Amino acid sequence: MNPTTMTDKLSIDQAYPLHEFSNVIQYISDIQYYHTIVEFKSEENTIVAFPNNDTCLLSALEPEDINGLELGSDIKILYEADGRAVKDNSKLALYLNILPRAKDGQIFKATVVGATKQGLLMSIEGLQCFMPKGQVGRERNGDLQSFVGKSIDVKLISVKLKEEESNRFLPIVSHKILEDENNAIDTQSKLQDLKVGSIVQGIVKSIANYGVFVTLFPSIDGLIHITDLSWERVSNPSDIVSIGQNITVVILDINQTNDGKLKISLGLKQLSRRPWERLDKDTREGNIVSGSICNITDYGIFIKLPSGVQGLVHKSELSWDTKVSSIDFTKGQILSAKIINIDWEKEKLLLSIKQMVADPWKDIENKISIGDIVEATIINITNFGIFVNIADGIEGMIHVSELSWTEKIKKLKEYYTIGDHLDAVIISINKDKRKIELSHKRILPNPWQNYTVGQHVTAIVIGIEKQGIQVKLANDHLPAFIPAKLVPNDFAIGESEILKCQVQEIDENKRIIILAIV
């Protein structure tokens, strides 16, 4: 006998999808049925007789099948188109009956006869089938054993070829495909009613940093862009919704991509009135409003009003005290502020906190005057002087030259610390420029005015150099210098020695008095 060769013979792990059932059906249709006898038998093999004095080796016999056969025993076999002979298991008629119906899309009532970790063992009119776990559908749960004994509607979706078993073909069935088909019909019906502006229910499927995906119908999702989640600025979509949450959304746009898929844009914030629509239309500049800080930046803070409108308090409007900045505020802090500009068309709101109180410079002349001695607090230290706070919103500067009558201070931070208090006298006030100059040294009389050229003084030696002698005046410790040329020859001088001198020259700018020994 010359068996034909099956086209596209399948491997053990390959399965025919539904649209290729014709190959399987044709293959099964070509199987020949024979009623013959056993010609030869051993412990491992059995040979049967064929017409025209031909013989054939039986394949896939179980040990119990071999033991039940004797020489000359009648046996029914199936001879497949690829030259393989197997014992008839009475399944051929079932295949020929069921597979063509499956190809036509028939729904079968299958009985669950067993369960494994991989899925369910099922029977369709006596034909063994298998349903993978992923094809059970929405009713699937962790315990597949609970399905044993139940009847389930299924469709046959593929046929697996099993090379080493007597049951050559294993039909693969699915209940999920029926659910998907029903959902597809339901979805198409609903999509026909879907249009821009429609308000629909959905379930949050996933969250990305740019937005939220929402399942509207099975297999139909839409995207809420992060800018359409809330009228307020959103940094993290998870702050607004959570996965699995049921939400109501509005359809903003429906487009079909080049590959035929629907692209649906959704909105959440559009279901509520815009903040500027909720703001009282009688709100005017000069009104006092209250709200909580919702954002803090380098250039100011944002206050959210009860309507949701956010107003900016620029850093220059935080306080009359210039040392106050954004970092002195916290998110969620409740504040009141005055409206200094409101633009309904551009939807911009500018606020001021400092204008809630009077400008401290407005009546500065009634608070301080030139010559007043005040207690000042150091708020900043620079190379050219120190800045001090005199009162709330009123600051001034003490120049380095106004710190001491006697010392030349170069590194101010070695002498002063922010937060220190010191007394100072006001020496100038410029209301227009909002500048106040103070002096620390002028609290005391100018010691340089106590001396005149030719005056006799007492000095104490503090250092001897080649160029002369460094001394300080005994009365007020002003620095002085005796040049070497004004020291008598052979005049013995030691450290801390007291000398009688005469003032030769006074240079207040250089802060030095030139003396001569007398």
Q: Poorest-confidence range of 185-189, 237-241, 328-332?
A: 185-189
Range of the domain at 235: 194-271
Question: In CATH, what number is assigned to the domain containing residue 201?
Answer: 2.40.50.140
Q: Is residue 49 part of a domain?
A: no
**Is 70 within a domain?**
no
- CB-facing half-sphere around the CA of 153: CA atoms within 13 A: 9
Q: Is the pLDDT of residue 226 over 70?
A: yes
Task: Indicate whether 344 and 368 sit together in one domain.
Answer: no
Residue 81 gets which letter from DSSP?
T
Q: Are residues 19 and 144 in the same domain?
A: yes
473 and 428 in a common domain: no
Residue 188, token pair as written in the block: 């198409």
Residue 438: per-residue pLDDT: 95
Q: What is the DSSP string of 222-260?
A: EEEEGGGS-SS--S-GGGT--TT-EEEEEEEEEEE-TTS
What is the number of structural domains in the chain? Answer: 5
Residue 188's alpha-carbon distances to 62, 155, 182, 287, 415, in angstroms, are 52, 21, 10, 54, 82
Question: Do 6 and 124 sit in the same domain of this protein?
Answer: yes
| 510 located within any domain | yes
Q: Are residues 17 and 130 in the same domain?
A: yes
pLDDT of residue 15: 47
Helix (H) or strand (E) holding 506, with range, is strand 498-507
Give the whole-angstrom CA distance, residue 215 versus residue 202: 5
User: Over the stretch 378-416, which tens digit does the pLDDT of each residue have?
Assistant: 999 999 999 999 887 788 999 998 998 877 788 899 889
Q: What is the pLDDT of residues 436-450, one digit of tens each?
A: 999 999 998 888 888
Instruction: Reduce the DSSP state of residue 132 to 3 states and report it.
Output: strand
Does residue 162 share a domain with residue 26?
yes
Residues 399 and 347 in one domain: no
Torsion of CA 251, 253, 257, 261, to 10 degrees: 10
* Whether residues 340 and 417 fall in one domain: no
Among 153, 175, 193, identify where a domain stops: 193
Residue 26 counted as domain residue: yes
In a domain, 385, yes or no: yes
Q: Quick check: 424 pLDDT over 70?
A: yes
Query: Is residue 258, in this structure, part of any structural domain at all?
Result: yes
Q: Report whether pLDDT(9) > 50.
A: no
DSSP letters of 291-353?
EEEEEEETTEEEEE-TTS-EEEEEGGGS-SSTT--GGG--TT-EEEEEEEEEETTTTEEEEES
Per-residue pLDDT tens over the stretch 265-323: 999 999 998 899 999 999 999 999 999 999 999 999 999 999 999 999 999 999 988 77
Which amino acid is present at 249?
A: V
Rounded to the nearest 10°, the torsion over CA 193, 197, 200, 205 is 110
Measured in whole angstroms, the distance separating CA 353 from the mean position of its chain's CA atoms is 32
pLDDT confidence band for 81 (50 / 70 / 90): low
Determine the average pLDDT of the residues in 405-433.
Answer: 89
